[in-house]
Amino acid sequence: MTDISSDARRSLLTANLICLASMVVWAAGLPAADLIIPHMPPVALTAARTTLAALVLLPLWIAAEGVATVTKANWTRGAWVGFVTLGLASFFVIIALQFNDPVTVAIVSAAMPVIGILLECIADKRPFTRALAIGLVLSLVGGLIAVSGAEGEVDFGLGVLAALASVILYTWGSRETVKALPELSALGRVAITVSGCAVVALIVAAADGLLRGNWPNWSAIGLPEFTGLAIFGIGSMAISQLLWIISVGRIGIGAASMHMNAVPFYVMLMVFILGGPWSWAQTAGAAIVVTGALIAQGLIGPALANQRT
């Protein structure tokens, strides 16, 4: 393997910074979700979250690329991928947050790099190089170190299973968003999947309310709860998903998913800004995770990228 050119190196570093930003924005949505989760059933919250995100992304897509591009897109495929990636994955993460705290969800998310790399090696025939193996190990070790400094108790029950299901669906769907919609820009891919998912989720939520009476407790929802919903929907889905799909399209689902293991550090950082304690264990864990992702892409130790295990 030849050395990475300076232009390619800059492009990869930029993509990793975009992925890191996506994780920071996504992490901010986890504690914000706690404000609204007690007052909305999972299906209704999924519908509300995706609808808010769609109301931001769809007008941006129309403004950026025109109505013709939007109407000619494959909405059937986009709705299906969006339903799996965002609808089902979001539904299961809400279930997980009902049974466990955000720290537990972050712990389970440590499995994402393993799932992402398996997908690339099996579906895309990506060779399992020494750099990829080292990057994966560092990602897992860093994730465990980051989690060790977090406050929270893990209950290996239904909540953990729901979080694992969410991670698997989201990993597969993120790759499929890039692979199944190659003709669209990153903004188009995110807008069509989020909007398609919102339509499906709204129908399911209405049916859930009419048939089982599972409606939101509107009397308990005020400005703080709506603020949490806005952060959970617009920030943690619309903005984070756009940044995420941009990075997945550039560095692949395997390397991008390694960044997920630094989420406990970003959650801790949010808490620190709000007056909480600083954790050097989580800081070190996040640094190890990022280092592993850079090694896996050949940005550090490029000679390893050509050595198969």
- What is the distance between the terminal CA atoms of the chain, rounded to a whole angstrom? 15
- Do the domain assignments include residue 208? yes
Residue 214 lies in a domain: yes
Task: Flag whether 176 is in a domain.
Answer: yes
1 in a domain, yes or no?
Answer: no
Q: Is residue 19 part of a domain?
A: yes
pLDDT given for residue 1 in this prediction: 42
Structural domain boundaries, residue 150: 6-306
**Could you read off the pLDDT of 162-216 as tens digits, one per residue?**
888 888 898 888 888 888 888 899 999 999 999 988 998 899 999 999 998 889 9
Which parts of the chain have pLDDT scores under 50?
Answer: 1-2, 152, 305
HSE (side-chain half, CA atoms, 13 Å) at 188: 21
Output the pLDDT for position 300: 73
pTM over 0.85: no
Query: DSSP states of 205-264 as a string?
Result: HHHHHHHH-----GGG--HHHHHHHHIIIIIIIIIHHHHHHHHHHHHHHHHHHHGGGGHH
Instruction: Say how many domains are in the chain.
Output: 1
Q: What is the pLDDT of residue 2?
A: 47
